[in-house]
Amino acid sequence: MCSKMLRVNMEELTVTTEEVPEEYEKLGGRGLTSRIVNDEVPPKAHPLGPNNKVVFAPGIVTGSGSPNSGRLSAGGKSPLTGGIKESNAGTPFTKTLARRGIKAIIVEGRAEKDKYYLLKLGDDGEDLIEADKWIGKGLYEAYDELHDEFGDDVEIAGAGIAAELKASNAGISYTDPEGRSTRYSGRGGLGAVMASRGLKFIVAENTKENRMEIKDKETFDKGKKKLANALMEHDVTKKGGALNSYGTSVLINIINESGGLPQRNFSEGSDDRSAKVSGERKAELIKERGGVRPHKCSPSCIIQCSEIWTKEDGKDPMGVLEYESVWALGPNCDIYDLDVIGELNRACNDLGLDTIETGNTIAVAMEGGLLDFGDGEGALKLMDEIYDKTALGRILANGAEFTGEAFGVDRIPTVKGQSMPAYDPRPIKGIGVTYATSPMGADHTAGYAIAPEIMGVGGEADPLDTKKADLSRGLQQATAMIDSAGYCLFIAFAIMDIDEGMEGMIETVNGVLGTDYSADDIMKMGMDILEMEREFNKKAGISKEDDRVPEFMKEEKLPPLDEDFDVPDEELDRVFEEA
């Protein structure tokens, strides 16, 4: 448990420390960011206007040393979806906040137009420092300069060039264990919300004193051991297992073989060339080039599905090439060259863009005739347009739906304005139900139906069965609580299959909070979070009619399985009507 909240008023340029309200004491991560946004942000507020806020909150167990607990939630009203948004990241930055006893940072108000500041958190207090000298600089360079100025022993959160454009696809970047700008709260445009406040960076000094309190250490330690054992037992998460060996891109071949890996702007579901960008092939190249594999995204990670991708000469380390990034910037654009994909990913990291939204944007631009499918060089030139802040760059930086409308495209794979990730919902129906009904817009992490539908984790579900309301609801509930606890979503593989793992997760939460929650309590808390988020969205003007996939997915059959999205609207509505 953390002991204080920081309120940063960018209009007055003040930082005040507040006691944690009693009603927030047992919240963390997504549960806390969504609660604060719900309590303090008017649902009809303009996302870039004076009344929106961006909130940072470590999870309940973050900073405790529990395995895979290094997650941070960022929250606000999304300029991409127009609704509530929580965007999650694994980074050392979140451990630093938790060890400083910071339960949440609330950034509100707006600084003078075109002025940017840096929030420094140190043992001698909190300060706002002018940051205009970093305007227009890529984040790799900026983070190097910030380390030169403030020392190597700091962690950073930052908004990049895309956020300076107030672009709806601007994410928030965080340091990885080597200090690079490669970890992201990518989805939903929260980088634009941060920059629109006038906040460019948060620089947090590491501290040897851990102010994160564990109320019942015996229960916590018991749960920590159970969870670690389960993670090291499960085939997906153990050392030498699928994620540890090949990273998240192990899914490229798996989803391609299932007929659900979108190609060329969701026009086909598989292509034999996808093997060229698979996790297996990427692992071979990383070994040849002297990169790092496996690697951890945050200090407590024991799965270690991350990596460090380098150029062919072994130089210029970029960071991780995640499955969704490889797919979005690769097969979805008809690009099957990992080096081109790597450079596109590097540009996203440097500009502060979400890779999923960016890949979909490029694919939609290709659909609209701006360049040919497969034109990797042309795709890289589009990134230059964003660097140069041109009119075209501003269109592209606002995401797939905005770009599609600008170029007269009617095949735009979005829900509530947010692009779909790397699973086509036509041959994998359950993930489509999650895309449609999540308060967050199209988001695989909101309720990962791929686990039972494709991987056989947590039971088995026929991916073509249209009755998926109960499955999606349960996964969304569990995910909301995992995000609130501060755990990586990948612990779900172990806790869904191994009872001791689930017990361990709950016991660590109980240990930190001094509570006696059961599994039923945890699921109810997850539903409470979802209902709170849905209520905000309803007040913002989002209705159940927005809980739908795009029209073309109902009309067009996807090769090779020739499936359309035939889940009835009544089944989609049932996700929350029968909760």
Look up tokens 């002297």; give the residue.
290
Residue 164: which of 11, 15, 48, 12 has the closest Cα?
A: 48
Q: What's 303's DSSP letter?
A: S
DSSP string, 382-393: HHHHHHTT-HHH
Residue 386: which of 373, 377, 399 has the closest Cα?
A: 399
Q: Considering the chain, what percentage of its residues have pLDDT values greater than 90?
A: 97
Amino acid at 361: T
What does the pLDDT look like over 55-88, one tens digit per residue?
999 999 999 999 999 999 999 999 999 999 999 9
Look up tokens 């270690």; give the residue.
304
Residue 194: which of 161, 222, 172 has the closest Cα?
A: 172
Q: What is the pLDDT of residue 545?
A: 96
Q: Is residue 372 part of a domain?
A: no
The token pair that represents 60 in the structure block: 């309940």
Q: Is residue 172 part of a domain?
A: yes
Section 461-477 average pLDDT: 98
List Cα–Cα distances, 86 to 319, 445, 484, 524, in angstroms: 23, 11, 10, 19
Q: What is the pLDDT of residue 423?
A: 98
Q: What is the CATH number of the domain that holds 52?
A: 3.60.9.10
Q: Distance (Å, rounded) from C-alpha 238 to C-alpha 482?
A: 19
Q: Is residue 253 part of a domain?
A: no
Q: What is the pLDDT of residue 310?
A: 95
Q: Is residue 517 part of a domain?
A: no
Section 162-171 average pLDDT: 98
**Cβ atoms within 10 Å of 161's Cβ, excluding its own:** 26
Section 137-150 average pLDDT: 98
**Beta bridge pairs of residue 122:** 125
What does the pLDDT look like over 425-447, one tens digit per residue?
999 999 999 999 999 999 999 99
What does the pLDDT look like over 227-280, one tens digit per residue?
999 999 999 999 999 999 999 999 999 999 999 999 999 999 999 999 999 999
Q: Is residue 532 part of a domain?
A: no
Quick check: 1 pLDDT over 90?
no
- Band of the pLDDT at 2, cuts 50, 70, 90? low
The C-alpha angle with vertex 471 and arms to 470 and 477, in degrees rounded to 5, equals: 85
Quick check: 336 pLDDT over 80?
yes
Quick check: 217 pLDDT over 80?
yes
Domain count, the chain: 1
- Band of the pLDDT at 578, cuts 50, 70, 90? confident
Q: What is the pLDDT of residue 144?
A: 97
Helix and strand tally (H, E) in the chain?
23, 16
Q: Is residue 356 part of a domain?
A: no
List Cα–Cα distances, 137 to 162, 483, 574, in angstroms: 11, 32, 47
List Cα–Cα distances, 281 to 8, 252, 275, 470, in angstroms: 46, 10, 7, 37
| Bond from prior residue into 43 cis (ω within 30 degrees of 0) | no
Q: What is the pLDDT of residue 210?
A: 87
The token pair that represents 187 in the structure block: 């989805």
Q: Distance (Å, rounded) from C-alpha 31 to C-alpha 482?
A: 10
DSSP string, 396-426: HTT-HHHHHHHTT-----EETTEE--SS-TT
Question: In whole angstroms, what separates CA 317 from the centre of its chain?
Answer: 22
What does the pLDDT look like over 289-326, one tens digit per residue?
999 999 999 989 999 999 999 999 999 899 999 999 99
Alpha helices (H) in 21-151, listed in sequence order: 29-40, 92-99, 139-150
Residue 316: which of 278, 354, 350 has the closest Cα?
A: 350
Q: Is residue 423 part of a domain?
A: no
Q: Kindly report the pTM of this predicted structure.
A: 0.97
Q: Distance (Å, rounded) from C-alpha 84 to C-alpha 37?
A: 8
What does the pLDDT look like over 531-542, one tens digit per residue?
999 999 999 999
Q: What is the pLDDT of residue 237?
A: 97
Cα maximum dimension of the chain:
62
Q: What is the pLDDT of residue 161?
A: 98
Angle, in degrees to the nearest 10, between helices 217-233 and 499-513:
150
Q: What is the pLDDT of residue 3?
A: 84
What does the pLDDT look like over 413-430, one tens digit per residue?
999 999 999 999 999 999
Q: Distance (Å, rounded) from C-alpha 305 to C-alpha 247?
A: 4
State the first-to-last Cα distance of the chain, in angstroms, to the nearest integer: 30
For 60, list phi and psi in degrees, rounded to 5.
-55, -45
Quick check: 14 pLDDT over 90?
yes
Q: What is the pLDDT of residue 208?
A: 82
Residues in the chain: 579
Residues ≥6 apart with Cβ < 8 Å to 72: 29, 56, 57, 58, 59, 62, 88, 89, 90, 91, 93, 94, 97, 174, 185, 486
Element (H, E) at 196: helix 190-197
Q: Using CB atoms within 10 Å of the CB of residue 299, give its burial: 0 to 12 exposed, 13 to 18 middle, 19+ buried.
A: middle
Average pLDDT, rounded, for the chain: 97
Q: What is the pLDDT of residue 550?
A: 98
Cα-based torsion angle of the residue sequence 257, 548, 578, 510 in order, rounded to the nearest 10 degrees: 60
* Contact indicator for 539, 268 with CB cutoff of 8 Å: no
Q: Distance (Å, rounded) from C-alpha 102 to C-alpha 160?
A: 24
> Hey, is 380 helix, strand or coil?
helix
Q: Considering the chain, what percentage of its residues have pLDDT values greater than 70?
A: 99
137 lies in which domain range? 4-205
Q: Is residue 459 part of a domain?
A: no
Q: How many CA atoms lie within 13 A of 185 on its CB side?
A: 35
